[in-house]
C-alpha cells in the first residue's frame, strides 16, 4: 500500500510542479507588461501528501488608488499646461515677440518718428503700418483664443466619447470578474483587464472605486457622481463647433451631475476633461477679456475730440471698431472688441485713406480737425497720442490685469498674468509627473514581476521536478524488485 | 521569508524617467549657454515676464527718442548758424548806417548795403533741410519769406503802395526831393512800421508763428525750431527795406537823415533780439543734449536690469552642461550594466 501511495504523491508533485512552472513562465512573459499583476502559486496540502496549486494575484489596493489619483491630477495638469502653452505661443509668440504689448511699443516708436517728421509721407505710412500691426496682433490674438476654446471643446468631446467607450468595456471586464468569482475560477486575467481599464478611465476623470460582493466594482467620480454601477452611467456632452467672445460652452454631465471646473495654474482640476474645461471656461475667457480691454484702451487713447468748441462727443480715431465711430463704454469690458478693432479707413491708405489725417485730426469730420491751417509740421496731436499711451486709465477689474494703468502697462500686465499661470502650470506638471512615476514604481514594485526571482523559482522547481521523477524511478525500481521476487 | 520586492519593470522605468528629465535639462542648458539668456523667459520669470517685455520695449522707445533727438539737434544747429549769419549781416548794415549818420557815407553805399541785406536775409530765412524750410514754423512745406527784390512780390508792392498813398508820387519822382524830415519820420512810424508788425506781415512771410515741438524725453517736449515771424527778424527786415528802398538820390538830406536814424534804431534792436533768440536756441540745444545723455543712462540701466532678469551666468551654465553630460553618461553605462545583470546570464 505505501509504495503505491508514494507513487501517487510523486505523481501529484509532478503535476503541481508543472503547474507552478506554467505560472512562472506566464510571469516571465508578462514581466514588462505594466498592467500585469504577478501571480503567486500557493501549494495546499489536501489529503495527506496530495498537493493542490492555487493561484493568487499580487495586489495592493492603496498603492493602486494612489496611482489612479496621481494619474488623474497629472493628466489634468498636463492638458492644462499644453493648452496654455499653445495659446501663449499663438497670441504672444516666442518671447512675447508678436504680443500686443510689443506691437504697441512699435507703434509708439513709429509715432515718435512721425512726430519728429510730420511732413514726411513715408514716415506717416510707417506709423499707420505700425497701427495695422497692432490691429493684426489683437485680431489674431482674439482668433487664437477662440481657437484655443473650440480646440478644448473638441478635446472634451473626444475625451467623453473615449470615456463612454471605456465604461462599456469596463462592464464586460467587470462581468467577467463577477462570473469567475462566483464560479470559483481564477479571476486574475479579468482583474488585470479591469484594473487596466480603471487606469485609462482615470486619465479622463478622477475616480474612486468601491468593491462589493463577488468582486463587483462601483466607480464614482471623486466629486460623488456615479460613473458605473452594474451598468455604465451616461457621460454626456454637447460640443459647440464655433467659439466667439460671448460663446458659453456646455457642461459635461456625469449621470446628470455637472463636472466641476478647477482653478489656478497649479490646478486642482484632475483628469483631462477638467483640464480642458478650465482652459475653455476660465483661462481663455479671462485672457480674451484682457485683449478686449487692451483694444478698448487703444481706441480711447487715440479718440478724436471736438476742436470746434461745439462740445461734440469724442469719436474713434486711429483705431475704430464694429460699433464705431462712437467709443465703447468706458471702464468695462466690451466682449469681442479685440476681434473687431480695426484701423480707421480715413487714415489707412490701403482703403483710400490718408495717413496725414492722423497728424491733422478730422477722421470724423471738419469739427475734429486740429491742424486747421494744414501746416506740414504740425505735431501736437501726435505728441498727445504718445502721451495718452502712457497715461493711466480705468480698466475693468474682472479681466484680472489691474484696474488703473496705462495701455502700455496694461498690455504687459496681461503678459505677466498669462506667463505667471504658465509657469506655475509647468512647475506643477513636473511635480505631478514625478508623482506618477513614483506611484507607478511603487505599484510596480508591489505587484510586478521580478524576472530574477522567477528564474530562481524555476531552478527550485526544476530540482523538485527532478526529485519527484527520481522518486518515481526509485519506486518503480522497488516495485520491479518486488515483482522479480514474485517470479 | 519576506524581503523588499523590486519588479524588473520598475528598475527600467525609474532609469527612463530620470533619463528623460536630464535630457530635457541638457537641451535647455545648452541653449542657455549659447545665448547667455534663459531658455524660456516666460517659464523663468513667470509673472515678472511683463517687466522684461516692458523693459525691452522701453529700451527700443528710448533708442528711437535718441534718433529723433539727433534730428532735432541738427535742425537747431542749422538754425543757430543761420541766426548767426543774420546777426552778422545786421551788424554790417549797422556799421554802414552808423557811418552814414555821422555824414561820412554816400547814400548809394547805404542803399546797396540795404538791398544786399534784403537778399541775404531772404536766402538765409528760406534755408531748407530735408525738404523742410527751417524758419517756416510748423508750416514747413511753404517757402517762408517772399522775395522783396522781385518788383511783383506782394511785400514790395505793398511797400511802394504805402509810399504812393502817403505822398502821391513814387520814390524816384522829382517831387520826392520836397519830403521833409518830419514827413519822412511820420511816414516810417505810421505807415511802414505796421507793414512789418501788423497783419500785413503776411505779405512778407507765410511762416507759422507756431514753432515745431518735439518730444525729447519720455515725458518732455520742447520747441525745436525758430519762426521767421519773430520780432528780431521783422526789425532787421524793416531796417534793410528802409535803407534799401528809401535811399534814393532824390531825397533831401533831412529825409535821408530820418531814414538813416530810424534804420539804425531798427537794426540795432533787431540784432539784439536775434542774438537773444540765438541764446534761447542754445538753451534748447542744451536741453536736447541733456535729455539724450539722460536717455543713454536710462538705456544702460534698463539693459542692466534686463540682463539681471533674463541673463544667465555663463560659468554656471557651462558647469551645468558638463555636470548633466557626466550624469547622463553615467546613466547610460548604468543602464548597460543593469541589462547584463540578469540571472539568465549566469545560468548554464
The rounded distance, in Å, linking the Cα atoms of A100 and A144 is 13
What's the pLDDT score for residue B2? Answer: 53
Could you tell me which chain A residue has the CA closest to the CA of B5? A445
Separation in Å, CA of B151 to nearest CA in chain A? 28
Q: Kindly tell me if the per-residue pLDDT of A268 is higher than 90.
A: no
Could you tell me if residue A361 is left (phi over 0), alpha (psi between -120 and 50 degrees) or otherwise beta?
A: left
A54 and A69 in one domain?
A: no
Peptide bond into A411 cis (omega under 30): no
Query: Could you tell me what percent of chain A has a pLDDT over 90?
Result: 66
Residues A178 and A273 in one domain: yes
Same domain, residue pair A135 and A280: yes
Q: Within a domain: residue A443?
A: no
Q: Please check the confidence at residue B91 and state whether its pLDDT lies above 90.
A: yes
ipTM: 0.85
A38 and A72 part of one domain: no
Q: Please tell me whether residues A95 and A17 are part of one structural domain.
A: no
Asked whether the beta carbons of residue B61 and residue A109 sit closer than 8 angstroms, the reply is yes
Distance (Å) from the alpha carbon of A412 to chain B's nearest alpha carbon: 4
Please check whether residue A260 lies inside any domain of the structure: yes
User: B53-302 has which CATH code?
Assistant: 1.20.1330.10
Does residue A14 surpass a pLDDT of 70?
yes
Decide: residue B19, CB within 10 A, 0-12 exposed, 13-18 middle, 19+ buried: middle
- Please indicate whether, in this complex, the C-beta atoms of A419 and B210 are within 8 angstroms of each other: no
Q: Do A444 and B137 touch (CB under 8 A)?
A: no
**CB-closest option in B68, B139, B219 to A376:** B139
- Of the candidates B7, B67, B225, the beta carbon closest to that of A444 is on B7
Question: Is the residue at A445 inside a domain?
Answer: no
Say whether A437 and B14 touch across the interface (CB within 8 A). Answer: yes
Q: Domain count for chain A, please give it.
A: 2
- pLDDT tens, A409-419? 999 999 999 99
Q: Domain for residue A270, yes or no? A: yes
Mutate to test the interface with B, among A113, A116, A382, A387 (most CBs of B within 10 A): A116
Q: What's the pLDDT band for A297 if we cut at 50, 70, 90?
A: very high
Q: Do B45 and A419 touch (CB under 8 A)?
A: yes
Q: How near does any CA of chain B get to the CA of A378, in Å?
A: 5
Note whether A41 and A80 are same-domain residues: no
Nearest to B144 by CA among B132, B161, B160, B130: B132
Among B7, B44, B54, the residue with its CB nearest the CB of A412 is: B54
Task: Give the chain B residue nearest A104 (alpha carbons).
Answer: B57
Domain residue limits at A307: 65-436
pLDDT of residue B1: 43
Q: Are residues A139 and A258 in the same domain?
A: yes
A208, A69 contact by CB (below 8 A) = no
Residues A129 and A81 both lie in one domain: yes
Q: Are residues A127 and A197 in the same domain?
A: yes
- The answer to whether residue A444 is domain-embedded is no
Distance from the Cα of A388 to chain B's closest Cα (Å) equals: 11
Give the model confidence (pLDDT) of B4-23 as tens digits: 788 888 887 777 888 888 99
Please give the average per-residue pLDDT across A368-388, as a whole number. 90
How many helices (DSSP H) and strands (DSSP E) are in chain A? 12, 13
Answer whether B137 sits within 8 Å of A380, measured CB to CB: no
Give me the mean pLDDT over the A285-292 stretch: 95
Q: Do A423 and B6 touch (CB under 8 A)?
A: no
Is A168 among the domain residues? yes
Which residue(s) pair with A52 in the sheet? A44
Tell me the nearest-neighbour CA distance from B61 into chain A, angstroms.
6
Contact across the interface for A379 and B212, Cβ inside 8 Å = yes
pLDDT the model gives residue A53:
77
Give me the residue label for grid cell 524816384. B172
Chosen for mutation from B12, B18, B53 (greatest number of chain A CBs closer than 10 Å) is B53
Could you tell me if residue A457 is inside a domain? Answer: yes
Q: What residue ranges do the domains of chain B occupy? A: 53-302
Amino acid at each position: 500500500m505505501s509504495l503505491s501511495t508514494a507513487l501517487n504523491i510523486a505523481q501529484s508533485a509532478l503535476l503541481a510542479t508543472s503547474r507552478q512552472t506554467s505560472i512562472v513562465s506566464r510571469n516571465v512573459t508578462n514581466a514588462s507588461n505594466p498592467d500585469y499583476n504577478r501571480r503567486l502559486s500557493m501549494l495546499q496540502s489536501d489529503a495527506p501528501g496530495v498537493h493542490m496549486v492555487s493561484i493568487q494575484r499580487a495586489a495592493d489596493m492603496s498603492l493602486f488608488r494612489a496611482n489612479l489619483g496621481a494619474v488623474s491630477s497629472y493628466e489634468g495638469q498636463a492638458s492644462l499646461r499644453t493648452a496654455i502653452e499653445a495659446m501663449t505661443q499663438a497670441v504672444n509668440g516666442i518671447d512675447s515677440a508678436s504680443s500686443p504689448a510689443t506691437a504697441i511699443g512699435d507703434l509708439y516708436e513709429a509715432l515718435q518718428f512721425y512726430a519728429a517728421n510730420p511732413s514726411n509721407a513715408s514716415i506717416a505710412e510707417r506709423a499707420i503700418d505700425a497701427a495695422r500691426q497692432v490691429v493684426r496682433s489683437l485680431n489674431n490674438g482674439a482668433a487664437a483664443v477662440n481657437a484655443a476654446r473650440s480646440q478644448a471643446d473638441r478635446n472634451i468631446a473626444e475625451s467623453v466619447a473615449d470615456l463612454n467607450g471605456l465604461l462599456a468595456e469596463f462592464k464586460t471586464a467587470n462581468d467577467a470578474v463577477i462570473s469567475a468569482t462566483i464560479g470559483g475560477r481564477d479571476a486574475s486575467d479579468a482583474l488585470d483587464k479591469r484594473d487596466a481599464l480603471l487606469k485609462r478611465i482615470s486619465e479622463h476623470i478622477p475616480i474612486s472605486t468601491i468593491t462589493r460582493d463577488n468582486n463587483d466594482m462601483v466607480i464614482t467620480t471623486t466629486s460623488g457622481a456615479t460613473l458605473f454601477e452594474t451598468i455604465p452611467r451616461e457621460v454626456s456632452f454637447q460640443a459647440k463647433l464655433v467659439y466667439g467672445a460671448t460663446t458659453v460652452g456646455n457642461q459635461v454631465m456625469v449621470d446628470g451631475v455637472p463636472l466641476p471646473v478647477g482653478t489656478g495654474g497649479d490646478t486642482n482640476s484632475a483628469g483631462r476633461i477638467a483640464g480642458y474645461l478650465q482652459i475653455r471656461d476660465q483661462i481663455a475667457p479671462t485672457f480674451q477679456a484682457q485683449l478686449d480691454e487692451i483694444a478698448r484702451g487703444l481706441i480711447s487713447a487715440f479718440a478724436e475730440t471736438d476742436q470746434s468748441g461745439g462740445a461734440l462727443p469724442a469719436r474713434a480715431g486711429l483705431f475704430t471698431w464694429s460699433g464705431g465711430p462712437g467709443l465703447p463704454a468706458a471702464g468695462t469690458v466690451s466682449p469681442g472688441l479685440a476681434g473687431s478693432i480695426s484701423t480707421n479707413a480715413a487714415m489707412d491708405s490701403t482703403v483710400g485713406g490718408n495717413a496725414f489725417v492722423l497728424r491733422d485730426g478730422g477722421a470724423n469730420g471738419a469739427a475734429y480737425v486740429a491742424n486747421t491751417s494744414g501746416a506740414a509740421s504740425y505735431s501736437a496731436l501726435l505728441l498727445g497720442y504718445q502721451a495718452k499711451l502712457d497715461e493711466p486709465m480705468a480698466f475693468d477689474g474682472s479681466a484680472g490685469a489691474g484696474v488703473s494703468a496705462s495701455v502700455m502697462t496694461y498690455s504687459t500686465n496681461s503678459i505677466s498674468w498669462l506667463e505667471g499661470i504658465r509657469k506655475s502650470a509647468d512647475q506643477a506638471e513636473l511635480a505631478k509627473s514625478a508623482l506618477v512615476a513614483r506611484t507607478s514604481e511603487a505599484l510596480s514594485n508591489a505587484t510586478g514581476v521580478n524576472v530574477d526571482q522567477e528564474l530562481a523559482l524555476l531552478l527550485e522547481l526544476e530540482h523538485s521536478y527532478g526529485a519527484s521523477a527520481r522518486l518515481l524511478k526509485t519506486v518503480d525500481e522497488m516495485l520491479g524488485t518486488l515483482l522479480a521476487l514474485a517470479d | 521569508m519576506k524581503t523588499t520586492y523590486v519588479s524588473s519593470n520598475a528598475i527600467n522605468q525609474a532609469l527612463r524617467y530620470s533619463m528623460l528629465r536630464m535630457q530635457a535639462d541638457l537641451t535647455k542648458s545648452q541653449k542657455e549657454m549659447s545665448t547667455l539668456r534663459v531658455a524660456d523667459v516666460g517659464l523663468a520669470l513667470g509673472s515678472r515676464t511683463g517687466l522684461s517685455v516692458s523693459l525691452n520695449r522701453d529700451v527700443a522707445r528710448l533708442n528711437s527718442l535718441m534718433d529723433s533727438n539727433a534730428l532735432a539737434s541738427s535742425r537747431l544747429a542749422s538754425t543757430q548758424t543761420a541766426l548767426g549769419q543774420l546777426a552778422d549781416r545786421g551788424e554790417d548794415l549797422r556799421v554802414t548806417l552808423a557811418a552814414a549818420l555821422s555824414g561820412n557815407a554816400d547814400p548809394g553805399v547805404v542803399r546797396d548795403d540795404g538791398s544786399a541785406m534784403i537778399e541775404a536775409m531772404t536766402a538765409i530765412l528760406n534755408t531748407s533741410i530735408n525738404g523742410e524750410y527751417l524758419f517756416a514754423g510748423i508750416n514747413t512745406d511753404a517757402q517762408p519769406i517772399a522775395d522783396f527784390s522781385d518788383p511783383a512780390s506782394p511785400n514790395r508792392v505793398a511797400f511802394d503802395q504805402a509810399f504812393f498813398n502817403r505822398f502821391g508820387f513814387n520814390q524816384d519822382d522829382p517831387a520826392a526831393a520836397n519830403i521833409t524830415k518830419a514827413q519822412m519820420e511820420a511816414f516810417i512810424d505810421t505807415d511802414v512800421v505796421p507793414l512789418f508788425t501788423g497783419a500785413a506781415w503776411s505779405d512778407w512771410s507765410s511762416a507759422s508763428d507756431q514753432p515745431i515741438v518735439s518730444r525729447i524725453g519720455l515725458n518732455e517736449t520742447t520747441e525745436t525750431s525758430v519762426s521767421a515771424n519773430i520780432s528780431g527778424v521783422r526789425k532787421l527786415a524793416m531796417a534793410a527795406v528802409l535803407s534799401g528802398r528809401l535811399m534814393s538820390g532824390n531825397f533831401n538830406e533831412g529825409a535821408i537823415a530820418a531814414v538813416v536814424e530810424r534804420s539804425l534804431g531798427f537794426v540795432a534792436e533787431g540784432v539784439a533780439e536775434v542774438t537773444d533768440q540765438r541764446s534761447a536756441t542754445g538753451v534748447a540745444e542744451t536741453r536736447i543734449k541733456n535729455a539724450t545723455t539722460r536717455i543713454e543712462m536710462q538705456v544702460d540701466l534698463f539693459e542692466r536690469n534686463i540682463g539681471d532678469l533674463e541673463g544667465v551666468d555663463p560659468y554656471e551654465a557651462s558647469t551645468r552642461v558638463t555636470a548633466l553630460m557626466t550624469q547622463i553618461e553615467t546613466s547610460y553605462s548604468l543602464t548597460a550594466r543593469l541589462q547584463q545583470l540578469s540571472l539568465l546570464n549566469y545560468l548554464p
